Structure 1
Amino acid sequence: MPKLKTKSGTKKRFKITGTGKIIARATGKRHGMIKRTPKQIRQKRKAVVMSKADRTIVLKYMPYAR
């Protein structure tokens, strides 16, 4: 069987912790900052741990990351 390729966009956007959780950037911080409160902008600086439902989707694109 041939090896499966990892999606290169997934490699760049997500990191997997030692316990198997997936870390991603917070959403909603690309543009339109004038609409957001300063509190929202501060909170979106940090990385976010993804939910279990999203985790299964991301892991399909990273076949050897388990």
Structure 2
Amino acid sequence: MAQVAAWFGLGTVIDVRPLAEGLMNRNWRVTTPTCVAAVRQVLDSDADQARRQHAPSPR
């Protein structure tokens, strides 16, 4: 989780707690000195598919 927090510039991880899992992902609540964030691990698709699924929809 430290690598994920560093990648997104969240700071040092103080606490990590699991959140409810979905059918297609795992989720955690991550606390750092600067924020509390949700981190999701996508399980059912590769990186390109995940990018497309989570890209903003055109209006």
TM over 0.5: no
Query: Which of these two proteins has the greater Rg computed from alpha carbons?
Result: 1
With normalisation by structure 1, the TM-score equals 0.25
More helix by share: 1
Flag the structure with more relative contact order, 1 or 2, with Cα contacts below 8 A and sequence separation at least 6: 1
| TM-score, normalised relative to structure 2 | 0.27
